[in-house]
Amino acid sequence: MKRREQQIGTRFSTALLLIGMLCGCADDKANDGDDDKADSGVVDVEFDPKNCLHQGNVQINSDADQGLAAYCEIQGNVEVGATVTDAGLEQLRHVHTIQGVLYIVGTSLESLDGLRSLKMIASDLLVHDNKELSSFYGLEQLEHVGGALSIVSNPLLGHLDALAKLSSVGKGIQLDDNVALQQFDALVKIDKVSDRVSITRNGKIRNLKGLGGLANAGSQGLFIEENALLRTDEGLNRLVAAGKQLVFRKNSQLKHIKNLQLLQHVKEIRIVDNLELEEIDGFPMLLILDRLYLRYNKTLLKLAGFPKITLIDAIEVKGNKNMQTLNGFPFLKVATSLHLEENQTLSEVRFKKLDTVNTFHIIESMAFTSFKGFLPLKNIKELKICNTGLSQLAVEDFVKSRHDPKPTLKFCD
């Protein structure tokens, strides 16, 4: 009996020893894990989806954990600092709503995966000067930006495919100086903004399909400028309103402007310095326009596309050296000013119903030899003629046949 008790005691002691060894190993591993977390600056924060509201602004200046993984909604602005990497952005992995501005400016981020839960930004989304950012992957759930969507100077950004769910932008769209951007088709669900749309100096886009859902470009208008490979205005086929201005400027390979078939409301159109532009034929719904400027489109041969317009405050057609015909205004009746300047080959001009112009200037246009296309024009206050193909007799006869009071006639010195 005593021997049996000794055997049992020996086995019990052995078991205790084994348990102690196992516990010691586990403690060592736990301590090692704690050491790793301490070294990385990561704090293990328990996430409670029912209690995850953060009051106030958030500024992330490094990858060191600030306990932000406990939050799903931030009632303030969020600013991601220059030294934050993808690992540091993981702190925001549970955030679905930002009730302010999201600044991602001058960072080293390669993706936005840490924002994978984000659905709504109440104010602006500003993504500027991120030299390593090649895509917006991580924002696949984003549906609403209440302010401006501003994406500027991200040199590796090639597309915006991750924004396919984005259907609402409140203030405006700015895509500027993204030299690798090839397309932004993911924005096609956005139908209106309140301020403006700017597509400027994006080195590789060839069309505007990303604006294919846009009906209203906002109060300031639509600006398409200095996009070196843009060849067509395809994508503007649903645009109805463009506010103060519609601008196509310095798009060196733009060939055609012909997709604005629904545009009805805009105050000013500027089509300037598009060196390969051949055709303008896309404004059949416009009735009234404050100002039209066509300047230095060197390959533009003719102007059509304004078949219903009846009133324009100012028309300036200048420096389109290969333009031969100007007959795109069959129903225009009144223009406060009409300036035709430096159009060396312009010979055929027809305004079938134009009867009133306050100031009419024809300057540096040697192929212009006749007023034949201006027969209905009876009311002129000032006529200025400089270096044209018109004879003095033709000018004087034209002035005499106008209604009283006769226009003031000016020649260049």
Question: What is the tens place of the pLDDT at every residue in 50-74?
Answer: 889 999 999 999 999 889 999 999 9
- Provide the token pair at 81: 């600092």
Residues whose CB is less than 8 angstroms from the CB of residue 251 and which lie 6 or more positions away in sequence, other chains included: 224, 225, 226, 227, 228, 230, 274, 277
Phi, psi of 65 (to 5 degrees): -70, 135
Instruction: Write the pLDDT tens digit of every residue in 118-171.
Output: 999 999 999 999 999 999 999 999 999 999 999 999 999 999 999 999 999 999
Span 7-27, average pLDDT? 43
Span 190-210, average pLDDT? 97
Q: Is the peptide bond before 407 cis (omega within 30 degrees of 0)?
A: no
Whether 174 has a pLDDT exceeding 50, the answer reads yes
Instruction: Write the pLDDT tens digit of every residue in 40-55.
Output: 344 446 788 888 999 9
Task: Tell me the pLDDT of the chain averaged across its residues.
Answer: 90
- Provide the token pair at 225: 């400028």
**What are the E-state strand segments in 16-165?**
53-55, 58-60, 73-75, 78-80, 97-98, 102-105, 120-121, 125-128, 144-145, 148-152
pLDDT of residue 45: 61
pLDDT of residue 43: 47
* Local confidence band at 305 (pLDDT 50, 70, 90 cut-offs): confident
Whether 102 has a pLDDT exceeding 80, the answer reads yes
